[in-house]
Amino acid sequence: MTNVLRIAIVDPSDSARDGLKTTLLGLDMVWLEAECSRYEFFADVVAQTNPDIGLVSLDSDPDKALKLVEQLATNSPACSILVVSGSTDGTLILRAMRAGAKEFLPKPVRIDDLVSALDRLADRRGRGDSRKAGSMVIAVVGATGGVGTTSLAVNLGCILAQDPKLSVALVDLDLSLGDADVFLDTIPDYTLVDVAQNVTRLDFALLKRSLTKHASGLFLLPRPVQLEDAKHITPDDVQRVFGLLKATFSHVILDLSKSYSPVDMVALQAATHILLVTQLDLPCLRNVVRLMMSFGEAGVKDKVRIVVNRAGLDTGQIGLKKAQETMGREIFWQIPNDYRTMVEVRNNGVPLIEQAPKAAVTQSIVQLTETLCEIGKPTDEPDGSKAGFKGWIPFFGGKK
């Protein structure tokens, strides 16, 4: 299931509600949007938060709970109702379904039953709600330092953000020396450590206010300001942050560190695509081989796409055929070398799409973006020969 489902729950029993919360918080596929302890208030909670699913526990007062289900089915038809109960009485189940519940689960709720029910609800919503396209997560990693991962991540995000139909966030996961904010010439008010430490209290509106919005439309979540703050960011916190981002944005770009820390490994697991950036020199290619072995052990190897940066730089470069033989992998994309342009955009804090929209390096990243995000899978032309984003040609000032 590619969509993150936003769920609101109601259960007057504190202990039972906490148990449901614990179960839900362990699932990547859901975001706990709201919780309520009173049946009479839950309809207002749903109206204000617009969750995808309303989870109603019947046990505290079945009659009142069923009236609530009926009210929700009438007043909030976009919210699918999932009911749970310790009773398996057939009459109660029938009444719940007639009231408008889409799924019924017995307590104690088994995790596999819950996942199956959520999958069924997501499928139904997918057929009836075309706006739910799912969130794509693109992790950008490097074979070594200095190969251009942050440049690619930032410019990929800014290019995507040009489309008003998309919402795009960039997360800087180099917790010590990340510089995505420098590339965008921004001074953020909040960083990843602020969001990670408060993720259980955030909703979609607060999340967007915690991110820094660039003029391109890209939202940035930068690395912590202080080096010592990195230790306060745990893999579990980051996983919850990713869940909220996936539920909020159509595309999430993750700029990883070169340490491949536990936080980075969580990012790799969350990714839809992994862009492994390398150059055509022996140290980089040997690292690609090592990394692909580790990615295979981690179960993320099939997500990896090899991107050669600074292609065409003659000095010290290994030929494409030899490079592919060394790596044992096909090269997915080549980004041409344009050192002068890249230095200018980095020093000016301006993305390529604004500073040099017609440059070959810009066009190559536009085409890479199209291949990943418009088509959603590798094309038959891995050398970057496809056209750029359809409908964006006038912006770039000419035909290809």
Clarify whether residues 328 and 306 are in a common domain.
yes
Higher pLDDT residue, 30 or 53?
53
Clarify whether residues 176 and 293 are in a common domain.
yes
Higher pLDDT residue, 42 or 111?
42
Clarify whether residues 163 and 114 are in a common domain.
no
Residue 338: phi and psi, rounded to 5, are: -150, 75
Clarify whether residues 35 and 156 are in a common domain.
no
Burial 194-231 (b: 16+ CB within 10 A, else e): bbbeebeebebeebeebbbebebbbbbbbbbeeeebbe
- Ranking 198-202, 359-363, 368-372, 381-385 by mean pLDDT, the lowest is 381-385
From 128, 151, 174, the end of a domain falls on 128
What is the average pLDDT score of the chain? 87
Mean pLDDT along residues 315-335? 88
CA 55 to chain centre: 24
SS3 11: coil
Say what the alpha-carbon torsion angle 14, 16, 18, 19 is, to the nearest 10 degrees: 170
- The DSSP string of 347-390 is HHT--HHHH-TTSHHHHHHHHHHHIIIII-S--S-TTT-S---T
pLDDT digits (tens, 9 = 90+) for 254-269: 999 999 999 999 999 9
374 band by pLDDT with thresholds 50, 70 and 90: low
CA–CA separation, 274 and 142 (whole Å): 10
Clarify whether residues 150 and 107 are in a common domain.
no
pLDDT digits (tens, 9 = 90+) for 37-54: 999 999 999 999 999 999
Q: Which two tokens stand for residue 4?
A: 């993150």
Domain containing residue 85: 5-128
**CB-based contact 388:363 (threshold 8 Å):** yes
Unique residue bearing structure tokens 């539920």: 247
Give every CB contact of residue 107 below 8 A, 6+ residues apart in sequence: 16, 57, 59, 84, 85, 86
CA–CA separation, 300 and 265 (whole Å): 10
Clarify whether residues 174 and 256 are in a common domain.
yes
Assign residue 265 the CATH number of its domain. Answer: 3.40.50.300
**pLDDT of res. 204:** 65
DSSP state of 89: -
Predicted TM-score (pTM) of this structure: 0.71
**pLDDT of res. 247:** 74
29 band by pLDDT with thresholds 50, 70 and 90: confident
In the chain, which ranges are continuous DSSP H helix?
14-25, 39-49, 62-75, 90-99, 111-128, 149-161, 180-183, 192-197, 204-210, 235-248, 262-270, 282-298, 320-327, 339-348, 352-355, 360-370, 393-396
**pLDDT of res. 208:** 80
Clarify whether residues 21 and 121 are in a common domain.
yes
Assign residue 83 the CATH number of its domain. Answer: 3.40.50.2300
Clarify whether residues 229 and 112 are in a common domain.
no
5 band by pLDDT with thresholds 50, 70 and 90: confident
Clarify whether residues 124 and 166 are in a common domain.
no
From 65, 99, 128, the end of a domain falls on 128
- Ranking 74-78, 88-92, 380-384, 395-399 by mean pLDDT, the lowest is 395-399
Count other C-beta atoms under 10 Å from residue 337's C-beta: 18
Mean pLDDT along residues 315-328? 85
Residue 339 has pLDDT above 80, yes or no: yes
- Ranking 25-34, 82-91, 370-379 by mean pLDDT, the lowest is 370-379
Residue 313 has pLDDT above 80, yes or no: no
Q: Which two tokens stand for residue 78?
A: 């976009």
Clarify whether residues 66 and 171 are in a common domain.
no
Q: Which two tokens stand for residue 48?
A: 């204000």
Burial 269-293 (b: 16+ CB within 10 A, else e): bbbbbbbbbbbbbeebbebbeebbe
Mean pLDDT along residues 191-219? 85
Sheet holding 333-336, edge to edge: 212-213, 219-221, 168-172, 251-255, 136-142, 273-278, 304-311, 333-336
From 66, 101, 128, the end of a domain falls on 128
Number of domains in the chain: 2
Mean pLDDT along residues 325-343? 93
244 band by pLDDT with thresholds 50, 70 and 90: confident
**pLDDT of res. 316:** 64
Unique residue bearing structure tokens 């299931």: 1
Clarify whether residues 150 and 273 are in a common domain.
yes
Clarify whether residues 87 and 158 are in a common domain.
no
Helix 235-248 × helix 262-270 angle, to 10°: 30
Residue 332 has pLDDT above 80, yes or no: yes
Residue 130 has pLDDT above 70, yes or no: no
